[in-house]
Chains A and B, each alone.
Chain A
């Protein structure tokens, strides 16, 4: 039995053992706002990678995705710190993170392109951009649904269909010659 505590205690006073680990633990416990900050940017990245469809082309399974990601993020970011103070601080942190992202978008076109992507043509000159449709996981049916929204009944009436940065598909009507 004698000396078993040496591995932990060494020759230092009992209170200072594992000081680096203790420091990490304290830092972690203070880091609720850091978790919120990291969580915000992590979610932005995930939603950006998962695709643009969740923006406007929401089907039931995309609703599930958004609510599920939100719920899981909430659990991890809030943890067991359910105090009012923590809630207020984390909400303010989220607000600041959002503000800084929006500010950075206005300052750098490259950054804006990275966060938002660019508009993408899905249909032009009566031909589908098959590569774009495949990569963006969009079906021609999605484009036709948007066309119906714009009062267009046939594909031949479509001049151009564009997947906008916010996930909406905008369809312009072909100008008929007089």
Chain B
């Protein structure tokens, strides 16, 4: 059975030389491409240098430390976090943070939810919900004393958090979570 197939003559869109099938080389385009490639390598190198320096988290730029106004505690954290990547926020207490053999530490909800607190080390003796966050109570003897919060943010964004010892001015800080 005959079929009507659409057909077109065989032709080469690229000019032929000596009736040979043309190679199709385009050196003008290729030279532009090589220039683009060189620029891309420079950009790639810059990205890696910025990454090593911590601009995208996990490096010297990302590490931050804040001390409360009265020097009762200080917080070491990552000001740039990565989504789904674990990090540690450490709170170090001075002797004046220990009241009646206890430390009461307030953390805002954003530390628990957006910044994804997975564990509190050591486990608190008591936890109270309220004032837009949680207040943990830890039995304590003498300084130096510290508490770690294991964080793992679940998504990118810019988040503020508040952390403080009851009776002292809190520390507020901002964390950028990159994808």
Question: Which A residues lie at the B interface, using CB under 8 A?
Answer: 1-9, 14, 17-18, 21-22, 24-26, 28-29, 49, 79-80, 109, 113, 117-121, 132, 135, 160, 162
Do B162 and A7 touch across chains, with their CB atoms under 8 A apart? Answer: yes
CB-CB under 8 A for A28 and B29, given A4-B108, A4-B132: no
The number of chain B residues touching the other chain, given as a range, is: 35 or more
B26 within 8 A of partner (CB): yes
Provide the residues of chain A in CB contact with B155, threshold 8 Å: 24-26, 28-29
Do B157 and A25 touch across chains, with their CB atoms under 8 A apart? Answer: yes
CB-CB under 8 A for A28 and B179, given A1-B166, A117-B33, A162-B23: yes
Q: Is chain B's binding surface mostly helix, strand, loop or mixed?
A: mixed
Kindly provide the distance from the CB of A169 to the nearest chain B CB, expressed in whole angstroms.
12
Provide the residues of chain A in CB contact with B40, threshold 8 Å: 49
Given A5-B109, A25-B156, 7 other A-B residues pairs in contact with their CB atoms under 8 A: A1-B166, A2-B131, A4-B164, A21-B158, A25-B114, A28-B156, A118-B29
Do A5 and B131 touch across chains, with their CB atoms under 8 A apart? Answer: yes
Do A118 and B25 touch across chains, with their CB atoms under 8 A apart? Answer: yes
- Listed residue (A4, A17, A79) with the most chain B CB atoms within 10 angstroms of its CB: A4
Q: What's the count of A-B pairs with C-beta under 8 Å?
A: 92
Provide the residues of chain B in CB contact with A80, threshold 8 Å: 84
Question: Per a CB cutoff under 8 Å, which of B23, B30, B159 touches A21?
Answer: B159
B93 within 8 A of partner (CB): no
B137 within 8 A of partner (CB): no
B56 within 8 A of partner (CB): no
Do B83 and A28 touch across chains, with their CB atoms under 8 A apart? Answer: yes
Do B132 and A6 touch across chains, with their CB atoms under 8 A apart? Answer: yes
Do A24 and B30 touch across chains, with their CB atoms under 8 A apart? Answer: no
Do B132 and A8 touch across chains, with their CB atoms under 8 A apart? Answer: yes
Q: Given the complex of chains A and B, what is the CA–CA distance between A14 and B132 in angstroms?
A: 8
Q: Given the complex of chains A and B, what is the CA–CA distance between A143 and B157 in angstroms?
A: 51
B110 within 8 A of partner (CB): yes
Do A7 and B37 touch across chains, with their CB atoms under 8 A apart? Answer: no
Which chain A residue shows the least CB distance to B33?
A: A117
Do B29 and A49 touch across chains, with their CB atoms under 8 A apart? Answer: no
Do B114 and A21 touch across chains, with their CB atoms under 8 A apart? Answer: yes
Provide the residues of chain A in CB contact with B132, threshold 8 Å: 4-6, 8-9, 14
Kindly provide the distance from the CB of B173 to the nearest chain A CB, expressed in whole angstroms.
10
Which chain B residue shows the least CB distance to A160?
A: B23
Kindly provide the distance from the CB of B83 to the nearest chain A CB, expressed in whole angstroms.
7
Q: Which of B164-179 contact A (CB under 8 A)?
A: 164, 166-167, 170, 172, 179
